[in-house]
Amino acid sequence: MDLLTPELGLFFWTLIAFLAVFFILRKFAWQPILSSLGDREKGIADSIATAERVKGEMSQLKAENEKLLAQAREERTTMLKEAKEMKDRIINEAKEQAKTEANKIIVDAQQQIQQQKMAAMTEVKNEIGSLAVEVAGRILRQQLNAKDGQEMYMKMLADDIKLN
């Protein structure tokens, strides 16, 4: 048991050595240790503050980026809508122009058909008229060849002149 319980002299000298080291460390090492700990604490606090500031800036930049993306999407949607409207308008204009051209072509064709029809009818009438005159001439020649026919024709002309 002697090993476990120190003697009073050893205890006293150990206490004196401890106090001497404690006062020496307090006088020479305590201030530098505390100042380095303070500097380290200040550096950590500055780093945390800088990190918070950067975090705030990053969140602000992220919000601005989201806003820009939303504006870009909106502009894209607007541009696509305008392009679709322009496409529809151009298609409708082309359709209307095609209808107008088709109607014009149809009207021109109908006019040409009508003119050709009228020309054909005039030609047929002229042909019928010339055939009628030719037939009438042949009939008159045949009737005028006979003496009775000539007398009857003169009588008819005389009656016709008296009526006028």
Asked whether residue 54 carries a pLDDT value surpassing 90, the answer given is yes
Asked whether residue 59 carries a pLDDT value surpassing 70, the answer given is yes
| pLDDT tens digits for range 123-149 | 998 888 888 888 877 777 766 676 777
User: Distance (Å, rounded) from C-alpha 152 to C-alpha 158?
Assistant: 10
pLDDT-derived band of residue 108, with 50, 70 and 90 as boundaries? Answer: very high
User: Distance (Å, rounded) from C-alpha 121 to C-alpha 115?
Assistant: 10
Distance of CA 86 to the CA centre of its chain: 7
Is pTM beyond 0.95 here?
no
Lowest mean pLDDT, pick from 9-13, 43-47, 76-80: 9-13
Domain layout of the chain by residue ranges: 9-122
Q: Are 143 and 149 in contact (CB under 8 A)?
A: yes
CA angle 95/98/101 to nearest 5° reads 150
State the pLDDT at residue 163.
63
